[in-house]
Structure 1
């Protein structure tokens, strides 16, 4: 009789499947264990037994010449594949992966990408295929190839068994009954059911030809490995695969037939390493095709199955509800121990009513909602991330060889005491402290190589410029970023410097160069900063785009302000700011004529940033010339209206023109002008604050008079501009403006000028004007 391997059909990341598999391996005691997965991971298996390997973890496979072309194979502690590896290593049995190589799947990804790009260039729509194999999705996350199918095999089985959907069916029969069963009998039943269902699915046209070909090729590789193992080992051979594949692996094919179907597949060179993974990326909500709804719940189930104490469903329910109560208390809600006990009892009661031996996730949720949250879904939603998804990120043992950048990243994490966490968190850094400056340098360098673990939300908070506020959120995908950055160097510092210089040489325009200069300096990369400064100076000489020049000044001024916290080439930077600002001041008025709408919008935005930066820079001559240009632009009939509106607003805010001058200029811009130009002027003038109109009734009633003079068509045409202008006003500001208009014009009280004769106010006035950036 022909020998056959024992096929164990599992669900990836299923704790019940993992518990059954462990029992089956103990009963079978195989001589060899084969696992669905890319064979390039064989060399990594031995590391799984190291004490420092703490799931969730993933094997990372990436193209040697293009690290962005990568795929992960994730494992949780409750993943059957992980349990199979641990069993084989602990029993000193050979174990290896048998799926098609990552070299093939990544080559196909590259081909698909090239075909899609070619189609786009020809204006032909090319939709990449999608593989949606819920039950038997390989743990690798290869680029997908076939469109979604309508007939899910689990849904078909669920319908036959009287369940509402395949998820509920599989959880009820397998995942929540992972202990106390005869494992070999259960796996035999799974094999029979899934083989029949697969045949029915194929006969009913429930799978596309492209996907069928893909799965046939994968299974041809698997059958080849199984034949080889049966020849090499006299004892039993255990094969751990997604349950859907069992029917294909049992198919009677010849060696020649299997070789024929895979002989023309393209391969590329692939590197493999271990990488930390996370609960969030194990969840189905992350987009992972083989993901589970609740990694946190599955981990709790696994604790029941893997515990040697066998505490039973009572303790199982109590521990979960106690954790629910603790998380609710962390969020500030009342959740007593008595309520947690009541929730556990209710969950057990619901499970009994529904014919379950152990409460499922639905029973636990219903019980918590009733007893701990008193029917308030919001409370449960507040802890959903921590409780149901989980916030664990895996750890790699120090003995495991890693990519140089990944190793350097870990050294930096230990040095800065920053721990990767998937849940977003805020970190406030004081750059005057060595620890704060070190963390800031690390995070800035990571940003330069495209790893945005931290995003700077506020570099100006607190006192002066000594403080940074970062928003941190780690994603396992950033491991691919570390692999990609290897082309720049073997350490974070080397890679960040080389990447900055390369981007500087390829930069188009001086604003990006200015940002790179700032990025290099705050990341403590003086050589890269020097190269970018030279490139910026060279580009500025040949640049006549005023908007581009203004956009370059603002980040440079912010750099200079960091001079007290970091070692910077202040003299060179100050000279560069003065040179750029002189060019801006000389060309701003002529350059603000005949601009289209997009250019105008960009110009006003750049003027706002430039004006603020120049005030911070503190060069009196540059500031005086800039304000003179603002006045000239107000009287320039050819300047575009939004530029005029912004210029007049700044003259008003700085107190450089008196009320009569402002009112006269405002009147000239709206009365008798074309409505479109007048509306654009008003929009730019009013942008940002209602106080201008609340405090200055002359301007308020000039606008009122202009609006009242528009006919219906012109009013409708200007309405969008007015809506945008008033959009920034808060409710209180709008209400006060309406009250002012309803009250009509009023004479200014004579006492209003009395403050000018207040000696205390006069003594404080110079300091107040200095703080506000106004001329003394």
Structure 2
């Protein structure tokens, strides 16, 4: 009986090739792999024809699906190679890591497990020390061989001992690009085991329970009568598993663990982007796309990689010729030679691409890093993989609509007049209700309310979201309806209910809409807070204006909306008085939103009620200047007051008797609608110029920030135009100055002294002398 330990680096193509060679040489009768034992029943699916990496094992607690962990596998992951080899040859395969159900039991319900999965916590996916080098480097911690405050990164320690400053580069040289020589794969694993033993002498392990459970699993395999056992695990664990020893200490240690909780496991698609360090994955790698290329390229690795770069650049209309590729290949080989490397690595290839194909610029290289070095591949799992009914219904809908997830962010524009596009839109809105934000609404490039733009970005974590949402129903429609009704029932304010109403109409959830409409009518009848009513109106107005595009019945909302407008109009002037600056800013936003909502309703009676309310806001004594000015501007834009009336009100607001700060707030309300008012009305500009010039020095520093805030909302060309007009006010008619008269501050004598020089520069001197004769 022999137990062979294959210490690997997770997601390493060199380790994957070595594992494949070692298994072919060993011909084991049992394969034990570091992974969650809860997923043992899913191992046969690894050989399914429809299973395409990258994929991940998902394990979650039945009582609280938010406590979940992912174990990702790429095509170049050593564990994946061992899975496929064992299943393909009929050899028993099992996972031997500590059951994740123990970890879930240590976390109170409703909280995330510390060792949970991707975006549900950190570390359940291969949290060995060799996977932490880049995290330590980013924190500025220099790894040492003989010192370890915590757990030294063994790969960084070995790299430093070999004279490398980059652990990734050392591993790539020694293992990932290991040329076939006199050493066999088993010899390489023996050497790695010796190195790990030396490192562990200075780095006490922190995963004693995990290693104890692995030893127990090895004992069980030996007891079952297996003669050739292969164990695939993180390299750091190899010394701890090399000597099995007595079982009693391990049994005692494991007995102290809390009681396991019930869990469920399944396979889910994964992406190369989620294998990278920058995604936050604890066992991530810098370049999953490059590693996939290393593992799958049959020969001429550099040439094939540069061909991919050329294809990418040409798709982006960037010029790349055959001469570029030849020169880049030569440069990569030369750099490898100068740096003492047997073959060009990613560093050399990247330098060559940036120098030859990118002209030294970083922008094209960012495209290469995102699309190729990291990559956007999205894996696939078989349709018969066990999932919750909600996820199965979503997959069915995606297939029916030919709307399958794609890697990376994708833009989609839907024409709601087409049945298929309409169904896609409804599906995306329903998923957003469930918290599965596959699509985010974007600005449509076209015109018309029948077009809808989405930014689609499918994330692997949505598998957990679907499990969590399964409590609401077994189909997307029923689950979204139930959750929408619950959101409306628990909404603290009226606006929350109207938002749900709008969402239900967009998602076409009639079963949820009827009871929510009754709730809306009841809450609207008893809510006396004008702010709550104003916040609720915009969603209703949008629904009434655009609901007919989707063929939905919005007649029941009209009565509620009309009632809200009347109540808002009656109470708005009073609600705008006695506010501080922050309260005035919030009420100004409600004023704008309500004004826009009334316009969407397209109801003359409602508009008349609203304009009457704004007239009261503009005329009311003691009204905050910001709101009074804003009401004046909206009335002017709606042609309810003319230019003369605006000039009169502005002249009154900017009189010396009004405090400068209050006048500045009034200006902010009037001018925030755009700069065209000042550009096209020199009278208003003159009033503003004279008021600014007359602000007392002791008040100017208090007013200046308000003015800057107002003018900062204007575009740069608009500000320049206003400045030019203000500079030319000497020749423009200004309020209180007769036509042809000199503007205040204009010195005619100084201007006359400059005229001869101007005439000479313009060549007008001779003509002037002839005219004088």
**What's the TM-score once normalised by structure 1's chain length?**
0.88
**Structure 1 stretch displaced more, 364-373 or 245-254:** 245-254
Deviations 1:145-204, CA, capped at 9 Å, x for gaps: xx99473222211111111122221121111227565100000000000111011223xx
The answer to whether the Cα contact below 8 Å between 2:433 and 2:484 also exists between their aligned partners in 1 is yes
Name the residue aligned to 1:79.
77
2 CA distance for matches of 1:498 and 1:694? 54
2 CA distance for matches of 1:372 and 1:665? 64
The answer to whether the Cα contact below 8 Å between 1:220 and 1:258 also exists between their aligned partners in 2 is yes
**How far off its partner does 1:349 sit?**
3.0
Name the residue aligned to 2:137.
none
**Match for 1:37 among 16, 35, 38?**
35
Name the residue aligned to 1:196.
198
**How far off its partner does 1:651 sit?**
1.3
Deviations 1:723-766, CA, capped at 9 Å, x for gaps: 221111111101111111111162399xxxxxxxxxxxxxxxxx
Name the residue aligned to 1:103.
101
2 CA distance for matches of 1:676 and 1:623? 32
The answer to whether the Cα contact below 8 Å between 1:16 and 1:179 also exists between their aligned partners in 2 is no
Q: Does 1:94 align with 2:92?
A: yes
1 CA distance for matches of 2:150 and 2:322? 47
Name the residue aligned to 1:395.
380
Q: Does 1:248 align with 2:240?
A: yes
Q: Does 1:377 align with 2:362?
A: yes
**How far off its partner does 1:595 sit?**
2.3
**Match for 2:3 among 1, 5, 22?**
5
Name the residue aligned to 1:662.
646
Deviations 1:22-50, CA, capped at 9 Å, x for gaps: 10111111110001111001011110100
**How far off its partner does 1:253 sit?**
4.6
Name the residue aligned to 2:747.
none
The answer to whether the Cα contact below 8 Å between 2:209 and 2:254 also exists between their aligned partners in 1 is yes
Secondary structure of the corresponding residue to residue 187 of structure 1: helix
Name the residue aligned to 1:268.
261
Name the residue aligned to 1:539.
523
1 CA distance for matches of 2:160 and 2:568? 72
2 CA distance for matches of 1:512 and 1:585? 21
**Match for 2:185 among 174, 183, 186?**
183
Name the residue aligned to 1:209.
none
**Structure 1 stretch displaced more, 20-29 or 258-267:** 258-267
Judged with a 3 Å threshold, the aligned counterparts in structure 2 of structure 1 residues 26 and 137 are, in CA distance, closer, same or farther, namely: farther
Once the two structures are superposed, the pairs formed by residues 127-138 of structure 1 within 5 Å of their partners are: 133-135=128-130
Name the residue aligned to 2:549.
565
Deviations 1:117-139, CA, capped at 9 Å, x for gaps: xxxxxxxxxx999996452579x
Once the two structures are superposed, the pairs formed by residues 115-194 of structure 1 within 5 Å of their partners are: 133-135=128-130, 149=150, 151-177=152-178, 181-194=183-196
2 CA distance for matches of 1:432 and 1:683? 42
**Match for 1:239 among 222, 226, 231?**
231
Name the residue aligned to 1:289.
282
Structure 1 spans left out of the alignment, 5+ residues: 117-126, 139-146, 203-211, 750-776
2 CA distance for matches of 1:129 and 1:15? 21
2 CA distance for matches of 1:292 and 1:230? 34
The answer to whether the Cα contact below 8 Å between 2:151 and 2:203 also exists between their aligned partners in 1 is no
The answer to whether the Cα contact below 8 Å between 2:501 and 2:516 also exists between their aligned partners in 1 is yes
Secondary structure of the corresponding residue to residue 32 of structure 2: strand
Structure with max Cα Rg: 2
**How far off its partner does 1:94 sit?**
0.5
1 CA distance for matches of 2:518 and 2:132? 53
2 CA distance for matches of 1:249 and 1:57? 28
1 CA distance for matches of 2:131 and 2:729? 75
Name the residue aligned to 2:341.
356
Once the two structures are superposed, the pairs formed by residues 536-615 of structure 1 within 5 Å of their partners are: 536-615=520-599
Secondary structure of the corresponding residue to residue 189 of structure 2: helix
Judged with a 3 Å threshold, the aligned counterparts in structure 2 of structure 1 residues 316 and 252 are, in CA distance, closer, same or farther, namely: closer
1 CA distance for matches of 2:654 and 2:528? 31
2 CA distance for matches of 1:525 and 1:361? 52
Name the residue aligned to 2:294.
301
**Structure 1 stretch displaced more, 485-494 or 103-112:** 103-112
The answer to whether the Cα contact below 8 Å between 1:279 and 1:296 also exists between their aligned partners in 2 is yes
Q: Does 1:26 align with 2:24?
A: yes
Secondary structure of the corresponding residue to residue 58 of structure 2: strand
Judged with a 3 Å threshold, the aligned counterparts in structure 2 of structure 1 residues 679 and 44 are, in CA distance, closer, same or farther, namely: same
Deviations 1:366-411, CA, capped at 9 Å, x for gaps: 1212222222222222332111111111111123222212222212
Judged with a 3 Å threshold, the aligned counterparts in structure 2 of structure 1 residues 136 and 220 are, in CA distance, closer, same or farther, namely: farther
The answer to whether the Cα contact below 8 Å between 1:634 and 1:665 also exists between their aligned partners in 2 is no
Judged with a 3 Å threshold, the aligned counterparts in structure 2 of structure 1 residues 673 and 747 are, in CA distance, closer, same or farther, namely: closer
Deviations 1:235-280, CA, capped at 9 Å, x for gaps: 1111111111112223565322112222232222111111111111
Judged with a 3 Å threshold, the aligned counterparts in structure 2 of structure 1 residues 283 and 688 are, in CA distance, closer, same or farther, namely: farther
RMSD: 2.4
Judged with a 3 Å threshold, the aligned counterparts in structure 2 of structure 1 residues 659 and 573 are, in CA distance, closer, same or farther, namely: same
**Match for 1:747 among 695, 719, 733?**
733
**How far off its partner does 1:692 sit?**
1.3
**Structure 1 stretch displaced more, 438-447 or 601-610:** 601-610
Deviations 1:660-719, CA, capped at 9 Å, x for gaps: 211222233333222332222222221141111111222222222222222334222222
2 CA distance for matches of 1:541 and 1:532? 14
Secondary structure of the corresponding residue to residue 432 of structure 2: helix
Name the residue aligned to 2:771.
none
Judged with a 3 Å threshold, the aligned counterparts in structure 2 of structure 1 residues 445 and 183 are, in CA distance, closer, same or farther, namely: same
**Match for 1:365 among 350, 359, 363?**
350
The answer to whether the Cα contact below 8 Å between 2:129 and 2:236 also exists between their aligned partners in 1 is no
1 CA distance for matches of 2:597 and 2:420? 29
**Structure 1 stretch displaced more, 97-106 or 148-157:** 148-157
Q: Does 1:223 align with 2:215?
A: yes
Q: Does 1:450 align with 2:435?
A: yes
Secondary structure of the corresponding residue to residue 174 of structure 1: helix
Deviations 1:516-538, CA, capped at 9 Å, x for gaps: 00111110101112222222111
Secondary structure of the corresponding residue to residue 159 of structure 1: helix
Count of residues paired in the alignment: 710
The answer to whether the Cα contact below 8 Å between 1:17 and 1:178 also exists between their aligned partners in 2 is no
Judged with a 3 Å threshold, the aligned counterparts in structure 2 of structure 1 residues 516 and 366 are, in CA distance, closer, same or farther, namely: same
The answer to whether the Cα contact below 8 Å between 1:322 and 1:337 also exists between their aligned partners in 2 is no
Secondary structure of the corresponding residue to residue 307 of structure 2: helix
2 CA distance for matches of 1:132 and 1:50? 28
Name the residue aligned to 1:653.
637
2 CA distance for matches of 1:625 and 1:111? 53
Judged with a 3 Å threshold, the aligned counterparts in structure 2 of structure 1 residues 419 and 713 are, in CA distance, closer, same or farther, namely: farther
1 CA distance for matches of 2:473 and 2:18? 46
Q: Does 1:68 align with 2:66?
A: yes
Name the residue aligned to 1:693.
678
2 CA distance for matches of 1:4 and 1:538? 76
The answer to whether the Cα contact below 8 Å between 1:88 and 1:94 also exists between their aligned partners in 2 is yes
Name the residue aligned to 1:475.
459
**How far off its partner does 1:111 sit?**
7.4
